[in-house]
Structure 1
Amino acid sequence: MKLFPSGHATHPQWPMAAGLVLAQLRAQMAQPDYASQPTLGLLYITDHYASQAEQILAHLREALPEVTDWAGTVGLGVVANNVEYIDEPAMSVLLCALPAGQFRVFSGVAPLGHGNEGDGPAAAGFRANTALVHADGESPELPELVAEVAGRTGTGYLFGGLSSARQGALQFAAGEGQGAAGGVLRGGLSGVAFGPQVRVLSRVTQGCQPLGVEQQITAADGNLILTLDGEPALDRLLETLQISLEEPEQAIAAVRATLAGLSSPGEGEDTHRTRSLGNDTRVRHIIGLDPNRRGVAVADEVQPGMHLTWCRRNAQAARADLMRICAEIREELEPEEQPLDVARAMAAGEADAAPHLARRMAGAVYVSCVGRGGAHFGGPHAELQIVRHALGDVPLTGFFAGGEIARHHLYGYTGVLTVFVVDERGD
């Protein structure tokens, strides 16, 4: 596996942006360390280009006929290595060179099957191990749909996010079995599944800081938390925030700034934790208080036995946690003994961190929450600069999502960083 060509650009006119992207891709495809015959394209556009989505995809497919399949979506912002484009017309592309028969684009037109003959000729014999997923947040029963797709993979691991756009979300899904719909879909879920020969390494980074100790939900009704550790949930919340309903203005302001971090029983035991907020924690908004039942309503269905941590968004915690997951990925890919060229590549700082196969990263996908981005990290591009500083100039694409997907869960205010790993032989 070689480095994946990548390109990104912004311009008021999409043909100009596409031309700049294609120039970058072709220049890299001519270099010996980059893949010259990629077969899968990942395409992310900002919603400024949404009305021209079909023209953009058709243009790229015609210009890059060797790329047989495409997947991607629209976002309020898109990312590339060291740069983010938020609320401006832009596109980001990553071209993946993967082993033959080790990936498959899927959608509502051609769903991801179990690799049986009954799943159709495109799926026969294919066994999904992991999958990159894009979804419309307005789709009915979306959590169940995500869980179902995760169940059709060998590892149960998905990564991706929900499309984000001011007017109508869309997804790209073009390839064998996708029909003649132009490759642009609306609603539902789509993506690309990867076989066991495509190794990926993925981490979730949280953007919130805990306000107190983790508690267990001991009674609940739908999305209403009734008791925590056997005590009224509302009382525990007021105690944590040190507020009283007798001072309503102060109380409302404090509750509005507070979020509920939920995790299911048995999760997080073997995962990394940031202070007391684990990777498995799904952050949800508080949507109401019930003084009569002394309950707290959150934007998700809850059940007794789940764990809860009250938390708030925190820029310092978000920076520290992003640095942590980047360090974990880098350390996992570093061999214990390194030849001189490998050591130099791994030690390269931000100023000279050129793409290098010694880093064992062919490319990366980063999906971050629309509530994050440079402004939350202290300045334009700061979030992506943290990634580059830690991983080097790895080819990268991605977008700012209306919700993030990791494993079989929907997250909020997080980032999901996934790298495609070059095997030991560099194939």
Structure 2
Amino acid sequence: MGTFSPLDWFRAATSTPSCRSALSTRPSMEEAVRDVVSQLGRRGEADLALVFASTAYASDLPRLLPLLRRELSSRHWLGAAGGGVVGTRADGTAAEIEQAPSLSVTLLSLPGAAIDSVALSTTSLPDLDGSAQTWQEWSGLNPQHCRSQILLIDPTSSNINDLISGMDYAFPGAEKIGGIACPHNAPHGSLLFDDRVVTGAVICSIGGDWRLDSVVAQGCRPIGPVFAIEQVQRNVVLELSDGERRDTPVACLQRILADLSEEERDQVRHSLFLGIERRNLQLTPNRLDAAGGAFLVRNLIGVDPNNGAVAVADRVRPGMNVQFQLREADASRNEALSLLRSSTESAGSAPLFGLLMACLGRGQGLFGQPDGDVNLGRTVMPDLPMAGAFCNGEIGPVAGSTHLHGYTACWGLLRQDPPSNAD
């Protein structure tokens, strides 16, 4: 575990923020390391190094961080193996590299930052019915220095949803962005931490004068009205209502299909999802207010033609609002652009860096051309350095709570923003 020292803060407070990035597509890992080192140059110590490597280098992963640390200096090192990587070259060009050897390294110098990083086993977690302090002590992270978190999880890990819920419980004010690394056939994990490869989870806590703003683009557009769940058994929805009218989910969907174009009806066959409304509940001194809601997009995992029921990949209960969703490239572009523009317009300072954790199902498979999400980010923030990975599941907030997603692009925009109560 890294430790935070006032001396580290004083040293960082006298420096200038910087983001140095490199991206290599050399076929061997040793060549890729030499390439990124050449792009980055040997300068002073950074505060945080983020390393994302293609699973094409899986057998050599245990040697990756030691090789990089011989040439480059940073207080904290963490990263993951991905089905592809996102990176920015030294000349400022950014790219998504899919299904090819690739290595992305970013060195961040963050004056006034409080950074800590930990590697944790997920085999045994604290009780979610226990205290938040128990979770804080288990993680080893100081809540006073935690405004944001990068959360990376190994694909072999257990209790993933409980871990995400527990970190929300322990650090409710911290934005959390991350993803599940990609599996491979080598006999070790997929997470990078300090100078080794690990399993479980790796968490980086960011505080002080810096925070991550989250942008979660789920890539769908709603079709049809908002329904209320009337009857449900576990995760199987039996009956929906629209005003006074009640019917099975399949019957409701058939009415929606009648109003769609032939192309849209064809998309429904392979790109239909269900959005489940989540309310962002904030506790005020006098009452509990609903401070906005959003639809959390979830897979439909089964249909019963006998009774018209549908099974959804999440917990649902009577009274919840739901809406069918259609996943398509245009919807993904429009949603991501809208959310990114909203984030930049509402924030005070321009981001120094963008962390992008995207689903393996996005990229060229969704957009029909390379660099789909990177180009959207550059449309709004033309000079933004970015890095990340194509994941087996993405982690980001919707309506105030952190969730595990699929088919999503989760952005973490790193900004210098001293707390309002700072001296």
Same fold (TM over 0.5): yes
| Match among 66, 81, 91 for residue 58 of structure 1 | 66
Structure 1 consecutive aligned stretches of length 4 or more whose deviation exceeds 6 Å: 110-116
Match of 1:68 in 2: 75
Task: Report if aligned partners of 2:76, 2:117 keep a CA contact under 8 Å in 1.
Answer: yes
| Residue-by-residue CA offset, 1:72-113 (whole Å, 9 max, x unaligned) | 111111112431100000011111223567111122259999
* Alpha-carbon offset, residue 189 of structure 1: 2.3
Q: Quote how far apart the aligned CAs of 1:123 are.
A: 4.4
Matched, 1:381 2:368: no
Distance 2:340 2:49 in 1: 24
Match for residue 11 of structure 1?
A: 26
CA distance in 2, matches of 1:89, 1:78: 9
Bigger Cα displacement from structure 2, 196-205 vs 397-406? 196-205
The whole-number CA distance in structure 2 between the counterparts of 1:380 and 1:319 is 13
1:400 to 381, 385, 390: 390
Counterparts of residues 25-40 of structure 1 (less than 5 Å): 25-26=40-41, 29=43, 36-40=44-48
Question: 1:388 and 1:256, CA in 2 relative to 1: closer, same or farther beyond 3 A?
Answer: closer
Equivalent in the alignment of 2:166:
148
2:176 corresponds to which of 141, 158, 164: 158
Structure 2 equivalent of residue 247 of structure 1:
none
2:120 and 2:139 in contact (8 A); partners too:
no
Q: State how far apart, in whole Å, the 1-side matches of 2:133 and 2:70 are.
A: 30
The residue number in structure 2 matching 1:200 is 212
Residue 419 of structure 1: which of 409, 413, 419 is its match? 413
* Amino acid in structure 2 at the alignment position of 1:56: L
- The letter for the 2-side match of 1:406 is G
The equivalent of 1:130 in structure 2 is 148
Give the conservation status (yes or no) of the 8 Å contact 1:38–1:96: yes
Deviation at 1:255, TM superposition (A): 4.4
Match of 2:255 among 239, 254, 263: 239
Question: Given residue 384 of structure 1, which amino acid in structure 2 is its aligned partner?
Answer: V
Q: Structure 1 115/253 Cα, relative in aligned 2: closer, same or farther at 3 Å?
A: closer
Alpha-carbon separation, structure 2, partners of 1:423 and 1:394:
17
Aligned-partner SS, 1:80: strand
- TM alignment of 1:86-101, pairs within 5 A: 86-99=98-111
Quote the offset at 1:142 in angstroms.
1.7
AA of the residue aligned to 1:189? A
List gaps (5 residues or longer) in structure 1.
30-35, 175-181, 244-250, 272-277, 335-358
Is the partner of 1:40 in helix, strand or coil?
A: strand
Match among 306, 322, 331 for residue 317 of structure 1: 331
Please say if 1:80 is aligned against 2:83: no
Deviation at 1:125, TM superposition (A): 7.8
Q: Aligned partners of 1:125 and 1:200: how far apart in 2? A: 15
**Aligned pair count?**
372
**Which shifted more, 5-14 or 367-376?**
367-376
| 1:156 CA displacement | 4.3
Q: Percent identity?
A: 26
Contact kept, 8 Å, 1:368 with 1:416, in 2: the verdict is yes
| Correspondence 1:285 to 2:299 | yes
After superposition, the Cα gap between the structure-2 partners of 1:156 and 1:306, relative to the gap in structure 1 and judged at 3 Å, is farther
What is the alpha-carbon distance in structure 2 between the residues aligned to residue 376 and residue 90 of structure 1? 21
Q: 1:184 to 1:313 in 2, by over 3 A?
A: same
Long gaps (5+) in structure 2: 1-15, 89-93, 260-264, 283-289
SS of the residue corresponding to residue 352 of structure 2 reads strand
Contact kept? 1:161, 1:403, Cα under 8 Å: yes
Give the superposed CA RMSD. 3.3
Aligned 8 A contact 2:271 2:328 in 1: no
* Alpha-carbon separation, structure 2, partners of 1:200 and 1:107: 20
Q: Residues 5 and 114 from structure 1, CA distance in 2 versus in 1: closer, same or farther, beyond 3 angstroms? A: farther
Contact 2:175 2:212 in 1 (8 A): no
Secondary structure of 1:61's aligned partner: helix
Q: Output the amino acid matched with 1:409.
A: H
Deviation at 1:226, TM superposition (A): 1.4
1:106 and 2:118 equivalent?
yes
Q: TM-score, normalised by structure 2?
A: 0.78
Name the TM-score, length of structure 1 as normaliser: 0.77
Question: For 1:389, what is the secondary structure of its paired residue?
Answer: helix
Contact 1:44–1:93, Cα closer than 8 Å, also in 2: yes
Q: Please say if residues 369 and 401 of structure 1, whose CA atoms lie closer than 8 Å, have aligned partners that are also in contact.
A: yes
